[in-house]
C-alpha cells in the first residue's frame, strides 16, 4: 500500500477521532447533529457548511469542462454564482412565505399542498429520488477517480472501496458531519484551493497571460461559443447553460427541520450569508484552474483529473495527499447528505404515503436505509460499466430536476389560477423532453440546450393543461394572496426575518384580530356600526 | 381574572425592542405594544441506538406548538418560572397533551431518520413533558402601509404579522 492511501485513511481516522471526541464531550444532547451546529459562530458554521457542500463536480467536473471547452464553460459558473442570489431574492421570498402558510416541510410537499394534488407529489418524489441518485453517482465516480489517483489502485477497485466507505459512513457513522471536523476540512480546502490558485496563476502570467497563451494554442478557447466555435450562434445552448445551475438545485428535495432558539442566538441566517460569500470564492477558481491546465499540462489522459494532477505538481507528496484526502472527505459528506435525503424522501413521501400507510417508524427507517444500500450497489454498477463524466451526469441530473420543478415553482407564486392538471403536465413534459434531448443528442441538431428545450416544453404544457383542470380552492387562493403581502417591509428588517416563526405570526395575528373583532362588536353595540366578518384559513393537514 | 402558568422569562424589554427596530429602520416609529403568551408542550426523549464506535444514548428535546401542531427542535432545555398572566395575553391551545405527545414522537423519529446515522432502530423513552408559554411582543408600525411584527421575547427573533 502506498504512502498516499495510508495518509488518506489516517486522515479519515483523524477526522473520525475528532468527530468522536466532540460527540462524546457533547453527549448530553444530540442537538449538534440535529440542529446543524447552531451553537457555534457564523463564520465557523459557514466554513463547515461549505466544506460539506463542496462536491466532486467542483473539483472534477467544472475544471474538466473548462479544460475541454475553454471560457465557454464559465457560463455554467455564472449561473451557479448569480442564479442562487436572484433565486433567493426574487422567487425565494414569496415561496418561503407561502410554504410556511401551507405548513410544507419540503419543496415537493409544498407543490402538493399548493396545487392540491397527490399526483404532483408522487411524480415529483420519483423524479427527485432518481436524479438525486444520479447526482450521487457523479460523486461516486469522482470518489473512485480521486482514490484511484491517490492509491494507484485500478479505478474499479478504488470505486468499490470509495463507495463502500461512503455507504458505511452514511448508514452507520456520520462522525465527519460534526461542526469541528467540517470546519477543519473547510480550512484545509480553503487554504488548498487558494494556494493552488496562487501557485498556478503566476505560472501562466495571471489572467491576461493565461488568455494570451490560450489564444496562442487555439484562439477559440477564448470564445463564448466554445472551443472550435462548436456552439456558434446557439444562444439556446448558452441560455440553457446559464439557467441550469441557477434553478436546477430547487428540485433537490431539501427537507427542513424547524428550530426554536432557547437563548438569544441567530447564527444560522448569518451563516448562510457567509456561506454564500465562500461559495462565490469557490465557484470560479476550479474553472480558472481548468483553463490554466491547458497551458501547464496540455496532455492529460482524463480531463477530470486536472485538479489532482495540479495538486501533485505544485505540492510536496504528503501535503498533496492531505489535500486530496480533504477533497475526498468533502465528496463523502456531499454524498452522505444526498443519500440521506433520497432515503428519507423515498420512505416518507412514497412508501409511507402511497405503499404502506400504516408503516411503523421502524419500517420507515429500514426502507430508507435499504434505499441507500441499493443506491450504493446500483451506483457501483453504473459507475463501473458505463461511467459517464462527472460533468455530464451532474448537468443531466440538474437539468431534469430544473425542468421538472422550475415552472411549477414560478407558477405557484406568480400564477394565481394555475391548477394541478397544468402543473402535472408541465412537470411530466419538462422532464421527459430533457431526457429525450439528452438520450438522442438533439442539442447539436436543434441548437437548443436540453434544459432550454425542456423549459419551453414545460411552459407550453402548463398553458394547455391549465385549460382542463379545476381552479384552486378558496383557502389556497387566500394563502396565495397573503404570501404576496402588499405591506412593505424595510430592507434592513427583511434581512433579519426568522422564517420559522411564520406559523406563530399567523396565529398571533388571528388572535389579535379576534380580540379586535370582539372589541369592535362591543363598540358596534354602542355605536351601531357594521364590521366585516373575519376570513379564516384552514390549511393544515 | 388571570391564570397561573409556566413561562420563559422575557429577555427583551419594551425599550430594547423599540430601539432595535429604530436602529434597523430609523424613519419608522415602532411601538412594542404588548406581550402575548403562546402555548407549547416541551418533550424530552432519551434516544438509544447502536452506532459504529459509540452507541447512541443521548437526550433530544423538542417543543410542539399547541395551536398549529408543529414541532421544533430546541437547543437548550428551557427555563421556566410560574407567573400569572391575564386572559387577554393567554392564547388558547388547539391541541391537547395527548395530540402533542403523538406529534412529538413522529417529529423526533422523522428528524432522527433524516439526520442521524444509526445501525439499529432507535428506542425513544419520554423522560419529561411540560406545557409552557412563550412570550411574544406585538410590535406595531405607526405607518399603516408598513408591516407590523412579532418579536420572540426569549430569542429576539422576529417575523412580520
Minimum Cα–Cα distance from A342: chain B residue: B114
Q: For A365, which of B21, B78, B113 is closest by C-beta distance?
A: B113
- Predicted confidence band of residue A539 (pLDDT cuts 50, 70, 90): very low
User: Are A401 and A248 in contact, with CB atoms under 8 Å apart?
Assistant: yes
User: Are A173 and B117 in contact, with CB atoms under 8 Å apart?
Assistant: yes
Residue B64: is its pLDDT beyond 50?
Answer: yes
**CATH T-level assignment (fold) for domain A3-387:** Sodium/glucose cotransporter (1.20.1730)
Q: For A262, which of B76, B138, B158 is closest by C-beta distance?
A: B76
pLDDT of residue A355: 85
DSSP string, A281-344: HHHHHHHHHHHHHHHH-S--S-GGGHHHHHHHHHS-HHHHHHHHHHHHHHHHHHHHHHHHHHHH
Grid-cell match 425565494, residue found: A92
Nearest to A110 by CA among A243, A254, A269: A254
pLDDT of residue B1: 65
Q: For A508, which of B8, B154, B161 is closest by C-beta distance?
A: B161
Minimum Cα–Cα distance from B73: chain A residue: A259
Q: For B74, which of A260, A344, A485 is closest by C-beta distance?
A: A260
Helix A74-86, helix A62-69: angle, nearest 10? 130
Q: For residues A143 and B24, what is the distance between their CA atoms, to the nearest angstrom?
A: 47
Q: For residues B124 and B130, what is the distance between their CA atoms, to the nearest angstrom?
A: 17
User: Are A178 and A260 in contact, with CB atoms under 8 Å apart?
Assistant: no
Determine whether the interchain pair A498/B152 forms a contact, defined as Cβ–Cβ distance below 8 Å. Answer: yes
Contacts B73 to A, Cβ<8 Å:
31, 34-35, 257-260
Burial of A370 (0-12, 13-18, 19+ CB in 10 A): middle
What nine digits make up the cell of B126? 419520554
In the three-class reduction of DSSP (H, G, I as helix; E, B as strand; rest coil), residue A447 is classed as coil
Pairs across A and B, CB distance < 8 A? 203
Total H helices, total E strands in chain B = 2, 8
- Predicted confidence band of residue A206 (pLDDT cuts 50, 70, 90): confident
Contacts A357 to B, Cβ<8 Å:
none
Residue A229: is its pLDDT beyond 90?
Answer: no
Report CA-CA distances (Å) from A7 to A11, A163, A185, A512. 6, 18, 15, 63
Residue A175: is its pLDDT beyond 70?
Answer: no
Determine whether the interchain pair A34/B117 forms a contact, defined as Cβ–Cβ distance below 8 Å. Answer: no
Determine whether the interchain pair A257/B115 forms a contact, defined as Cβ–Cβ distance below 8 Å. Answer: yes
Q: For residues B30 and B155, what is the distance between their CA atoms, to the nearest angstrom?
A: 19
Determine whether the interchain pair B53/A488 forms a contact, defined as Cβ–Cβ distance below 8 Å. Answer: no
Minimum Cα–Cα distance from A537: chain B residue: B68
Residue A217: is its pLDDT beyond 80?
Answer: yes
Contacts B113 to A, Cβ<8 Å:
344, 347, 361, 364-365, 368
CA distance to partner chain B, nearest, from residue A208 (Å): 43
Compute the C-alpha angle A342/A345/A348, nearest 5°: 145
Read off φ and ψ for residue B55, nearest 5 degrees. -60, 145
Single pTM value for the model:
0.74
CA distance to partner chain A, nearest, from residue B42 (Å): 11
Nearest to A498 by CA among B160, B147, B40: B160
Interval A418-446 mean pLDDT: 90
CA distance to partner chain A, nearest, from residue B131 (Å): 15
Determine whether the interchain pair B158/A498 forms a contact, defined as Cβ–Cβ distance below 8 Å. Answer: yes
Burial of A536 (0-12, 13-18, 19+ CB in 10 A): exposed
Q: For B72, which of A23, A33, A500 is closest by C-beta distance?
A: A500
Contacts B155 to A, Cβ<8 Å:
260-266, 498
Mean pLDDT lowest for which of A29-38, A278-287, B15-24, B72-81? A29-38
Residue A487: is its pLDDT beyond 90?
Answer: no
Q: For residues A11 and A331, what is the distance between their CA atoms, to the nearest angstrom?
A: 14
User: Are A379 and A338 in contact, with CB atoms under 8 Å apart?
Assistant: no
DSSP A80: H
- Residue B90 vs residue A506, higher pLDDT: B90
Contacts A353 to B, Cβ<8 Å:
none
Q: What is the pLDDT of residues A34-57, one digit of tens each?
A: 444 445 556 666 666 566 556 667
Residue B77: is its pLDDT beyond 60?
Answer: yes
Q: What is the pLDDT of residues A402-417, one digit of tens each?
A: 889 888 988 998 888 8
Average pLDDT, whole number, for chain A?
Answer: 77
Residue A441: is its pLDDT beyond 60?
Answer: yes
- Predicted confidence band of residue B39 (pLDDT cuts 50, 70, 90): very high
Q: Report the percent of chain A where pLDDT is more than 70.
A: 75
Determine whether the interchain pair B38/A507 forms a contact, defined as Cβ–Cβ distance below 8 Å. Answer: yes
pLDDT of residue A426: 95
Q: For B60, which of A29, A169, A173 is closest by C-beta distance?
A: A29
In the three-class reduction of DSSP (H, G, I as helix; E, B as strand; rest coil), residue B160 is classed as strand
What nine digits make up the cell of A373? 444500500
Contacts B80 to A, Cβ<8 Å:
none
Amino acid at each position: 500500500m502506498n504512502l498516499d492511501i495510508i495518509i488518506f485513511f489516517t486522515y479519515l481516522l483523524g477526522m473520525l477521532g475528532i468527530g468522536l471526541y466532540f460527540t462524546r464531550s457533547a453527549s448530553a444532547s444530540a442537538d449538534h447533529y440535529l440542529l446543524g451546529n447552531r451553537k457555534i459562530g457564523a463564520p465557523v458554521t459557514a466554513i463547515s457548511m461549505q466544506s460539506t457542500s463542496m462536491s466532486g463536480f467542483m473539483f472534477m467536473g467544472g475544471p474538466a469542462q473548462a479544460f475541454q471547452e475553454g471560457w465557454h464553460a464559465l457560463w455554467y459558473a455564472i449561473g451557479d454564482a448569480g442564479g442562487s442570489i436572484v433565486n433567493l431574492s426574487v422567487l425565494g421570498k414569496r415561496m418561503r412565505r407561502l410554504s410556511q402558510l401551507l405548513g410544507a416541510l419540503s419543496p415537493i410537499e409544498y407543490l402538493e399542498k399548493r396545487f392540491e394534488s397527490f399526483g404532483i407529489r408522487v411524480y415529483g418524489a420519483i423524479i427527485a429520488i432518481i436524479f438525486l441518485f444520479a447526482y450521487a453517482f457523479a460523486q461516486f465516480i469522482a470518489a473512485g477517480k480521486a482514490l484511484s489517483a491517490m492509491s494507484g489502485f485500478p479505478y474499479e477497485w478504488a470505486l468499490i472501496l470509495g463507495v463502500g466507505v461512503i455507504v458505511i459512513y452514511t448508514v452507520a457513522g456520520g462522525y465527519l458531519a460534526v461542526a469541528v471536523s467540517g470546519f477543519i476540512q473547510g480550512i484545509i480546502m480553503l487554504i488548498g484551493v487558494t494556494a493552488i490558485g496562487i501557485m498556478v496563476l503566476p505560472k501562466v502570467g495571471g489572467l491576461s497571460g493565461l488568455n494570451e497563451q490560450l489564444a496562442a494554442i487555439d484562439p477559440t478557447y477564448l470564445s463564448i461559443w466554445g472551443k472550435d466555435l462548436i456552439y456558434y450562434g446557439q444562444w439556446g445552448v448558452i441560455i440553457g447553460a446559464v439557467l441550469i445551475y441557477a434553478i436546477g438545485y430547487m428540485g433537490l428535495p431539501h427537507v427542513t427541520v424547524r428550530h426554536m432558539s432557547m437563548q438569544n442566538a441567530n447564527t444560522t441566517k448569518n451563516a448562510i450569508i457567509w456561506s454564500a460569500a465562500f461559495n462565490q470564492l469557490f465557484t470560479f477558481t476550479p474553472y480558472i484552474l481548468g483553463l490554466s491546465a491547458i497551458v501547464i499540462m496540455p496532455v492529460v489522459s482524463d480531463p477530470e483529473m486536472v485538479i489532482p494532477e495540479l495538486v501533485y505538481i505544485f505540492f510536496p507528496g504528503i501535503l498533496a495527499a492531505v489535500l486530496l484526502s480533504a477533497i475526498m472527505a468533502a465528496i463523502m459528506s456531499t454524498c452522505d447528505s444526498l443519500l440521506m435525503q433520497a432515503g428519507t424522501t423515498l420512505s416518507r413521501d412514497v412508501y409511507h404515503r402511497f405503499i404502506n400507510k400504516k408503516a411503523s417508524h421502524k419500517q420507515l427507517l429500514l426502507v430508507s436505509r435499504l434505499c441507500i444500500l441499493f443506491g450504493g450497489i446500483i451506483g457501483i454498477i453504473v459507475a463501473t460499466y458505463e461511467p459517464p463524466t462527472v460533468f455530464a451526469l451532474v448537468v443531466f441530473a440538474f437539468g431534469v430536476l430544473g425542468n421538472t420543478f422550475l415552472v411549477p415553482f414560478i407558477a405557484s407564486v406568480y400564477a394565481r389560477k394555475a391548477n394541478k392538471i397544468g402543473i402535472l403536465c408541465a412537470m411530466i413534459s419538462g422532464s421527459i423532453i430533457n431526457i429525450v434531448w439528452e438520450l438522442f443528442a438533439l442539442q447539436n441538431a436543434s441548437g437548443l440546450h436540453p434544459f432550454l428545450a425542456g423549459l419551453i416544453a414545460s411552459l407550453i404544457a402548463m398553458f394547455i393543461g391549465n385549460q382542463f383542470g379545476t381552479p384552486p380552492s378558496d383557502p389556497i387562493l387566500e394563502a396565495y394572496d397573503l404570501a404576496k403581502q402588499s405591506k412593505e417591509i424595510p430592507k434592513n428588517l427583511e434581512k433579519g426575518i426568522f422564517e420559522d416563526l411564520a406559523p406563530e405570526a399567523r396565529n398571533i395575528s388571528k388572535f389579535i384580530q379576534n380580540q379586535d373583532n370582539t372589541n369592535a362588536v362591543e363598540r358596534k353595540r354602542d355605536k351601531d356600526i357594521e364590521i366585516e366578518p373575519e376570513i379564516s384559513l384552514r390549511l393544515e393537514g | 381574572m388571570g391564570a397561573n402558568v409556566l413561562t420563559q422569562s422575557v429577555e427583551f424589554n419594551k425599550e430594547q425592542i423599540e430601539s432595535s427596530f429604530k436602529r434597523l429602520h430609523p424613519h419608522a416609529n415602532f411601538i412594542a405594544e404588548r406581550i402575548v403568551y403562546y402555548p407549547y408542550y416541551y418533550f424530552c426523549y432519551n434516544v438509544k441506538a447502536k452506532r459504529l464506535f459509540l452507541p447512541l444514548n443521548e437526550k433530544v428535546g423538542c417543543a410542539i406548538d399547541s395551536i398549529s401542531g408543529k414541532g421544533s427542535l430546541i437547543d437548550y432545555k428551557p427555563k421556566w418560572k410560574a407567573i400569572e398572566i391575564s386572559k387577554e395575553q393567554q392564547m388558547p391551545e388547539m391541541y391537547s397533551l395527548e395530540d402533542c405527545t403523538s406529534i412529538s414522537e413522529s417529529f423526533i423519529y422523522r428528524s432522527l431518520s433524516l439526520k442521524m446515522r444509526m445501525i439499529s432502530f432507535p428506542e425513544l423513552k419520554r423522560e419529561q413533558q411540560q406545557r409552557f408559554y412563550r412570550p411574544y411582543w406585538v410590535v406595531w408600525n405607526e405607518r399603516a402601509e408598513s408591516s407590523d411584527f412579532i418579536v420572540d421575547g426569549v430569542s429576539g427573533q422576529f417575523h412580520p404579522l
